[in-house]
Amino acid sequence: MNTKSTNIEDSHRTARRARTSRAEQKLETRRRILDAAIIVFGRDGILKATTADIAKEAGVAHGSVFVHFGSQEALVAAAIEDFGEAMARRLHETMRRGAGTREVLAAHLSGIREREDFYARLVAESSLLSVEAKNDLVLMQSAIAFHLVPAIEADRKTRRIKTMSLSLLFNTWLGLIHYYLANRELFSPGESVIDARGQELLDHFMSLISIGGKR
């Protein structure tokens, strides 16, 4: 191989490394903005949060928010999608271990706890969000229900829980959790609802759906 060919190959390798580095930096910046948005949405409220505050929290230029997400509405939708994907991964891993209904619901609570402030804001402000954000929220709840169904059906076969409408069962669970999250200053002032009341809510719900009231 002559010197000219070697120099050309070296240049190509350098260019590839540069492109890879830029792509990685772009993904890292996007992740920082998304993480910052989830923090600011949870702290200030989804509707009151500003892209300027999100950029400040992320440590990036204000314009970077729009480079990566286009609009604040798109950023809200991306935050919901990211939350839903993390929740789905958690529930999928739980199901792979052959978990029952109680264990899947406990995993759901743990997933909420990781970003509880953000999720509580979603619950409180969902009716005021954009159509795109609402659709992403519905998809997220559908994914949660999808992972819960096999556990419920397995427990039904062993007569651990009552036979009832799956949609009613799931919506009753969501309604219980959402009510406490929407009124967290009443039920757990100054602290996490999931930490303070999660086990109590799980025990109560399981007593409602279990045969003979067993938990």
DSSP secondary structure, 103-151, as one string: HHHHHHHHHHHHTHHHHHHHHHHGGGS-HHHHHHHHHHHHHHHHHHHHH
The per-residue pLDDT string of the chain (215 residues; one tens digit each, 9 = 90 and over) reads 556 556 656 565 565 565 567 788 999 999 999 999 999 999 999 999 999 999 999 999 999 999 999 999 999 999 999 999 999 999 999 988 889 999 999 999 999 999 999 999 999 999 999 888 899 899 999 989 998 999 999 999 998 999 999 999 999 999 999 999 999 999 999 999 999 999 999 999 999 999 975 55
The whole model's pTM is what? 0.86
CB atoms within 10 A of CB 63: 10
* CATH superfamily for domain 1-70: Homeodomain-like (1.10.10.60)
Q: Does domain 72-215 have CATH number 3.20.20.140?
A: no
Per residue in 64-115, pLDDT tens? Answer: 999 999 999 999 999 999 999 999 999 999 988 889 999 999 999 999 999 9
Collapse the DSSP code of 161 into the 3-class scheme (helix H, G, I; strand E, B; otherwise coil) and give the result. strand
Give pLDDT, residue 98. Answer: 87
The residue extents of the domains of the chain are 1-70, 72-215
Say if CB 103 and CB 94 are below 8 A apart: yes
Give pLDDT, residue 213. Answer: 59
Give pLDDT, residue 32. Answer: 96
Give pLDDT, residue 23. Answer: 83
